[in-house]
Amino acid sequence: MSSFSQKKPRNINEASRVLFFLSPFIFLLILAFIQVLNLTLIKGENFRTKADSNRIYQSKIYPKRGFIYDKNNILLAENIVQQDLKVTLQYVEEIDLILSNISKLLNIDFEQLESNFYLRSSKKNPLEPFTLIKNLSEKQIAKLSVNLSNLPGLEIETSFSRNVIHKEISASVIGYVGNISKNDISKNPKLKSFSNQQVGKTSIERDFDPILRGKLGYRIQEKDSKGNLIKTISISPPENGKDLKLSIDINLQKKLFEEFKGRKGALVAIEPKTGLIRALISSPSYDPNILNTINNIDNVNKIFSDKNSPLFNRAISGQYPPASTLKPFVGLAALEAKSISWDTEIIDSGEYYVEGDDRPYKGWKDGGHGVVNMKKAIIESSDVYFYSLAYDLTIGNLSPFLEKFGFGSPSGLTQNESKGILPSRKWKLGYIGDFWFKGDTINMGIGQGYITATPIQIAVAYSVLANKGELVQPRIIESIGKNQTLKISKDFVTIENEKNWERIESALLGVVEASNGTAQNILNKKIRIAGKTGTAQVKSINEEEYELVRENEALRDHALFVGYGPVEEPALAVVAIIENGESGSAVAAPIVRSAIDFYTENQ
């Protein structure tokens, strides 16, 4: 018994020593077991997701851009199917070798291809494909198709390019599309998800881009390690852009564009009662398809470097002195202020003097127009008569009255049109840093001096005359998809004596129909037109300098004519401005006559 009790402590000590030496190994074994549990149970889902991302890929499906039609459902802008070469960086291993092979295969300059690659691949998601070459030819497609298995990360994909059917004729209306820029994204962060899609840059394409563009769709695919498609898992189809029906009459637009004959200027034709724009021209123009596709950078550079600024939309952004086209409104303002009556006569000797100022304000006609009243002054465009009206009215009465007709503020037709200048004492002090003088008011009385207006503003103002007071919001969209747009009556210009609307109109009729009218050359008794000529001075000169100035075409006067008709039921109000055209009656009035005749006869 004593021997047994002596052996037990010895066995315990030996077990303790064994456990002590094995404890580090046991500890490591426990840690390993915990790590296995962590990797398989706790973090297993994360690893599976990462593994799936290498073979499961979500790609965007871009919607078709909406079509654009004219008022008669004639197609103006469409989408043309094309094949593009796309690259997914995730599957490209030797970039230089791939680019070199493509360069040789398609006979494309390597440096140009390399530059294009790095420009478009910068800051891209490596799993998101980008377009390397647009609009592949059939020959290029054939060569690539045979060799794609040797070009990992590359694929041929169908896309659409924008095509404006009537090119230069409708460029000022339709505009063009282009790649999304950083500036576009800064204005609209949502565009970041459309990075490979084009957006509208100007005109209708820009103003209605969200409607035309549609909404993205998505495709989930399984691919192998080289980017080859294994299978399509699911598809969420895109929502295509909506079609637009414009108010533009493309046949009228085409006829009037041809009549500009390469001249610089603008034209706006509007239905006074509805506000619908039937023609809108800015000349010179450009081919939007050159900018829609950018296949030839030299042609693109020619457009942007053209000194005649074809991209500048003169119809909505050109700011011109309204010249004598402003006189009917000055006359109406004077009648409303009762500073003169309809039959009041003054003597126009060809010069107007202000007390205390020895400098004469000269009229356009040597010797003047003799005895004139309001009607004769409008028909013959007497400057001296309207110098006198403006002087008596003062700028404090004149500017607020002109504002009622839309001068000095955007018409609301587009997002980025100019508002022109409707000057006042406060305006001159703020922008010029000088006080307002009587001479400023006198010049404004004939539509010169500081006042400027856009063609769309002048067209809207004359629509108010045609409507006998109703100011209708101009619009260029007749329907979006199946939804019709509605007429918006913005305001109604009320005058104390309603007869003055007819009186002003009778004078405007006389401009065309009277033997002494400044636009008597466009008389056509079948379709009666009320209108007004204008000659906007580009450079202030005296008589002796004029012939010298004429040698420089850029300093010649602008020619204006604005009219509406048929007078009995005005279908169209049209303004035409020919830059440096000199004579409104000779070059601008015939175009307006042509527009009203054509539209009236072809409604």
Residues acting as catalytic residues: 324
| Strand-pair partners of 246 | 477
DSSP symbol at 326: G
Angle (nearest 5°) at CA 408 between 554 and 424: 95
Task: Return d(Cα 37, Cα 33) in angstroms, integer.
Answer: 6
List Cβ neighbours of 377 (8 Å cut-off, separation of 6 or more): 327, 331, 348, 369, 385, 386
Angle at 192 between CA 186 and CA 193, to 5 degrees: 160
The strand pair at 68-69 and 244-246 is best described as parallel
Q: Give the integer Cα–Cα distance in Å for 279 and 255.
A: 10
Is the CB of residue 491 less than 8 Å from the CB of residue 350? no
SS3 89: helix
The reply to whether omega before 423 is within 30° of 0 (cis) is no
573 vs 235, 237, 459, 462, CA distance in Å? 51, 45, 6, 7
Phi-psi region of 308 (alpha: psi -120 to 50; beta: other; left: phi over 0): alpha
Residue 462 has phi, psi (to 5 degrees) of -75, -25
Nearest Cα to Cα of residue 127 among 191, 64, 221? 221
Strands 244-246, 265-270: parallel, antiparallel or unpaired by DSSP? unpaired
User: What secondary structure does DSSP assign to 155-200, as a single string?
Assistant: EEEEEEEEEETTGGGGHHHH--EEEPPHHHHHH-GGGGGGTTSEEE
Tokens of 165: 């059917």
Q: Report the C-alpha gap between 212 and 195 in whole angstroms.
A: 16
Region label for 338, one of left (φ > 0), alpha (ψ between -120 and 50) or beta (otherwise):
left
Residue 71 CA to its chain's centroid (Å): 20
Type and span of the H or E element at 81: strand 75-87
Neighbours of 449 (CB within 10 A): 19
b/e code 193-207 from CB counts within 10 Å (16+ = b): ebbbbbbbbbbbbbb
